[in-house]
A and B are shown apart, each in its own frame.
Chain A
């Protein structure tokens, strides 16, 4: 995620990581994140997340413009990644 931030220039405001479905064979690592920035930086961040070799799934994305020109946009992002149990142990 640091790579995505570095490449896009979008700095996360808050990060809330947590484990989900830990009882199953494939627990999920979930991350909730808020950030603010220009649309270009947000697009680049999402692009880097999508193009990353890690199996990342964006599950929720909320975008709110701060002004009429959309120069700064707040995002509320939730994404998860599958983790093999052998690795998580």
Chain B
């Protein structure tokens, strides 16, 4: 009986000894190395792994329009607006509306807008911008970057620069001609 117990103990010890190295050298799953083939280091066209970071929420640019020019002739007075919104872009004349404002008068240096009985004087190059409270306000035009005209080139003469009066007039005439052809 004692001999049998001794054999049984030896068998259990042997079984534990055999199983121990098997546990310690547990085979890592090949799927853990899938990145090797997924991101082939020999592929010169591979891209960086996409970062799963929360992208900053982009706030839309505020609605705005800018008075870029005025054309007064014997038979009509026209104003030209540039805007980040298509509906505010383009040509208007006295009595037309833009962003809920009525164009009451057009002068050589600007125009008069009216909304809700309140009048706003808008000089040429001035910008009207809708603020966070959804109210329109006249803002400093120097901060506004035009999207249609680039910086003047070095080869341009002083008369050809966009800020010169003759150039503005030329552009207005050209735009009017294009509008008339449509």
Contact = CB atoms under 8 A, between A and B. Distances in A.
Contacts of B36: 39-40, 43
A56 interface: no
Contacts of A68: 43-45
Interface stretch (B27-35, B97-105, B153-161): B27-35
Contact of A65 (B28, B33, B37, B42): B42
Which of the four size classes fits the interface of chain B?
10 to 19
Nearest to A43: B36
Interface in A17-75: 38-40, 43-44, 47, 51, 63, 65, 68-71, 73
Contacts of B41: 39, 70
Contacts of B42: 39, 63, 65, 69-70, 73
A65 B44 CA distance: 10
B130 to A, nearest CB: 51
Contact of A38 (B28, B30, B37, B44): B37
19 contacts: A38-B37, A39-B36, A39-B41, A43-B33, A43-B37, A44-B30, A47-B30, A51-B28, A63-B42, A68-B43, A68-B44, A68-B45, A69-B40, A69-B42, A69-B43, A69-B44, A70-B41, A70-B43, A70-B44
